[in-house]
Structure 1
Amino acid sequence: MATTQRRNLSILGIAAISMLGLAGCGGDDTASDAAETSMASETSMAPETSMAPESSMPTETGMAGMEPSASADAMMDPAANLVGPGCDDYAAENPEGDASVDGMALAPVADAASNNPILSQLTAAISGGINPDVDLVDTLNSGEFTVFAPVDSAFEALPEETVTELETDTEGLNNILTYHVVEGMIQPADIEGTTQTTLQGEDVEVSGSGDELMVNDASVVCGGVQTSNAVVYLIDAVLMPPTS
């Protein structure tokens, strides 16, 4: 009997140890699973760093400031700044081609003048046609200017003796022509009521406004004509520089 009881106690002890061992293993697995679950939860709640910050988006204020310049607008519509009583007639007589308002805007001023049917006398004067020693084409085409351009009828109104004299008076013709040119491209709204110093060195007075704009005693037939490097004012008289 004693032997039998000892055997039963041994079996019970072994069974108890086995149960404890299994319980210990099960506890480790549960803790491990809990840790993994916690880490997975933390990872899924982490903020996404791939999203671009909102500050990189353009603002309405920045986009509103991107406006075309006034000069760009003028080049987009060469007729926008025209003033003078003769503009409508000129545009109607020259609706397209190099002589049109749009066509002149594409060429430098001396070339544009040569394409204009009412500036043939001025073209001759600046290109050696009156005096072979006077050629201002390259000068006029190479800078930015405002040009007061006498139309053909203005040259035809000059006394014949004056024209004859200018055929040999190189300095005199140069003085007259450069008296019609001012540095910089000045639009009608900016030239009204101003005094402008010419390339010749003397001043011209611009008075009036709109269809009554005048340069000294000459009336503007059509002003604000754009070329690629100049603003042209067609005038009805040749300007004479003051005598010394």
Structure 2
Amino acid sequence: MKPGLLALPIAAALSLPAAHPVSGAYPMAGGSSTSDGWHAVAAALVASAPVGPACKTLPPSGRGSVTELGRLRVDTAIAHSPDLSTLNQAIQAAGLTHKLNTAKDITVFAPTDEAFKKLGRRKLDKLLADRNALTRFLAYHVVQGRKTPGDLKKAEFTTLEGDKITTKGSGDKIKVNKAKVACGNIRTRNANLYVIDGLLTPKR
């Protein structure tokens, strides 16, 4: 994965309030101990942290940081990533930009440009020219709900296309079908984003 992964310029007009504390994470008077409360906070932070070998390329603050990515809607984040330019082109060709940006609580498995190159130029051009096939292909990369790494350990999900995907693994070794997660559990304003190194193809 190139060092430029998800080094995104941030649109100043987009904003999101700071993350809210986890409900029930802080002890109330007469309630659970302070230790228990902070254990809950720590567990929530771990659950929301990005995972994958390429996550180290994310800056700790400023542009492209986890905090700033949280201000962007998912397709806006994809559109500004140099490593996801082909995916952005496909989303535009299918006319799905608005639908992705207005969807609520979804998970997007985003193939890199290198993943699309494996398809070959001729097949890629044919796919981009067929709006129905392209829409189906892209829908197979999206599932409803914000999926965390814990959800992906060993699971099967029905995609928005209607066919199923399987996931397995943890930490830096998560796979979606046969594709590997390069960096995932990136929380955008309306979705969890997992950057993957391969294309997901519907079986039907």
Are the aligned partners of 2:152 and 2:170 in contact in 1 as well (CA < 8 Å)?
Answer: no
Matched, 1:117 2:82: yes
Are the aligned partners of 1:81 and 1:187 in contact in 2 as well (CA < 8 Å)?
Answer: no
Q: What does residue 54 of structure 2 align with?
A: 86
Tell me, in whole angstroms, the C-alpha distance in 1 between the residues paired with 2:175 and 2:122.
27
1:100 and 1:119, CA in 2 relative to 1: closer, same or farther beyond 3 A? farther
Find the partner of 1:141 among 101, 116, 123. 101
Richer in strand (by share): 2
Deviation at 1:226, TM superposition (A): 0.8
Higher relative contact order (CA 8 A, sep 6+): 2
Richer in helix (by share): 1
Q: Percent identity?
A: 35
1:80 and 1:184, CA in 2 relative to 1: closer, same or farther beyond 3 A? closer
- The one-letter code of the counterpart of 1:119 is L
Tell me, in whole angstroms, the C-alpha distance in 2 between the residues paired with 1:227 and 1:196.
20
Structure 2 gaps, min length 5: 1-27
Using the size of structure 1 for normalisation, the TM-score is 0.64
Q: Structure 1, residues 154-185: CA drift from partner, whole Å, max 9, x if none? A: 11221222112113211111111000000011
Q: Structure 1, residues 181-240: CA drift from partner, whole Å, max 9, x if none? A: 000111111222110110000000001211110000000001111101111110001111
Q: What does residue 60 of structure 1 align with?
A: 30
- Secondary structure of the 1:201 match is coil
- Secondary structure of the 1:185 match is coil
Give 1 or 2 for the bigger CA radius of gyration.
Answer: 1
Tell me, in whole angstroms, the C-alpha distance in 1 between the residues paired with 2:129 and 2:79.
23
After the TM superposition, which segments of 4 or more aligned residues of structure 1 sit over 3 Å from their partners?
67-70
1:176 and 1:62, CA in 2 relative to 1: closer, same or farther beyond 3 A? same
- Secondary structure of the 1:60 match is coil
Using the size of structure 2 for normalisation, the TM-score is 0.75
State the number of aligned residues.
173
Structure 1 gaps, min length 5: 1-57, 129-133
Q: What does residue 68 of structure 2 align with?
A: 103
Of the structure 1 ranges 157-166 and 169-178, higher mean CA displacement relative to structure 2 is found in 157-166
